[in-house]
Structure 1
Amino acid sequence: MAGKKRGGCGLLVLVVVVALLGVGYYKAKHGSSTEPPSGADTGGGSGRYVALADSYTSAPRTGHAAGSPAGCDRSDNNYPHLVAAKLKPAQFADVSCSGATTADLTGSQSTHNGTNPPQLDAVAAATTLVTLGIGGNDVGFIALAPSCVTSHRDAAPCHDRLTTGGHDQLADRIDAVAGKVGAVLDRIHAKAPKARVVVVGYPTVLPDGDGCWPALPVGSGDVAYLRDALKHLDDVLQEKAKSHSAGYADTAGPSKGHDVCTGSDTRWIEGLVPTSAAAPLHPNARGEAGMATAVESVVS
């Protein structure tokens, strides 16, 4: 009886958190755009660095708000800002935005507070470096959360629902991202033929093994299923980078052992109830610093 009560509380916490926190996964809409950012003068060397991405890059709540619109929830200590501080380009434009999909790279994105112009508008012929972190919202991982939570440690409701009949719907969504990312990379190269382009993978969110139910009330079967799906997405991103003349920054490897189930002084990805400044299920400042190091190792 006590165990069932704990599981029920965990379920309630997850559903409430996911329902209320649109910060990282606000559903994009398309509307009118405004002028794209010209790029801040960093007072450093040469070149122009542009960061295109979603909330795993914008890093909601990890630092002070940076740029506009406010609804993109960019922090001034996210990995693009850290990379720019290291490389010191003459210009730097972080146009990452919470909730962004690949469609928001070419179309404007309405957020809960303002409209982000098409992210690719920030890329021009003078651009010398582009980082691209996108795809998670195309797959819709966060939308799965309410249907994955369970009061049974070994249950796998998401896996059972999404693989009915032996066909993996989540794998299909990830495979569909491949073509979209490839097309985006082609657009970047066309707009900035001299730019170095780096695709940034997603960090490790879930641990090896069965997870940490009920702190994260996802059954062991779905922990394995979602962990494998995230790896599949990273594999797709890495393959597209290789086949479209781009570098790849692996953040999954360095973040292994720093997942949501690790201690508050170790984790790079916060759990449902963050213990440091970050959005739930998003990188914290430690995670953004680790991602910055991964990017720097590719571009340096």
Structure 2
Amino acid sequence: AYLASLGVGPESVVGVCLDRGLDLLVAVVGIWRAGGVYLPLDPGYPAERLADLVADSGAVLVVDEALLRSVSGGVRPVVVAEPGQAAYVIYTSGSTGRPKAVVSGHEGLVNRVGWMQERYGLVVGERVLHKTPVTFDVSVWELVWPLTVGASVVMADPGRHGDVVYIAGLIDRASVAVTHFVPSLFHEFVRQGSLPAMASLRLVVCSGEALSGADVTAFYGLHGGAVVENLYGPTEASIDVSFWSCPRPGDGGAVPIGAPIANTTLHVLDRSLRAVPVGVTGELYLGGVGLARGYGGRAELTGQRF
């Protein structure tokens, strides 16, 4: 209601500059209920970097601790988002040049979360660990998926997402059922010596880097109940576009990125955009409802890449 009173509506970009915690989750839901688009901002970034992101994205305001202290206002109508409306803006890492603002829509996010629920069947009362920095798109499903089915979000302490001893203990103490690891952190997780029982843990999702088959085999040797899934997707899509379930006990070999998720297509093409034969190297092209709208404010680049 407060955001709406400040003029936030459909397609309004609102920055969220908060540490991980309840306020973060409330802010994202509040922005969506006002019809807006959320832009995650890391409070640890330098002020100049934050100012640049806010200016580049066209954000109309930023939710931070100061704004939360001033929140007031009565009940206002909830805006029902249309499928084509933007849901969030996340910047690429900038590994290939200037970071790009990727604008992703509600339709793609609903498709991605719906696929995840159909495949992994989260139930009321189960707990999902939120530990991914909010500037990475994995954090979106960590926040949203549990809310769609009446499950719970367990928030890791700010700044401790890379502490594998703390994470293992939190999974055990908080009875976490689902967690995510980038493969480099998963490597540290399974090699850190001894893991607590983590009896509640049933699903480990890995994405963001190539996953080591040796690490999968090592984890299966330590935990008898959880399944490891390898997911893949660039920022330019709604989080993930493909999946592979790692079989037990694992052979230590390469882990593929697998098959497309629901309503998604994958094509391996040559430079002339022709399909290459099996076994021939090409470039991966993505299609389907999960594709992002494009790069915010960069129509020429969007035309080249999308």
- TM-score, structure 1 length as denominator? 0.33
**Structure with the greater relative contact order (CA < 8 A, sep ≥ 6): 1 or 2?**
1
Whichever structure has more strand as a proportion of its residues is: 2
Q: TM-score, normalised by structure 2?
A: 0.33
- Structure with greater proportional helix content: 1
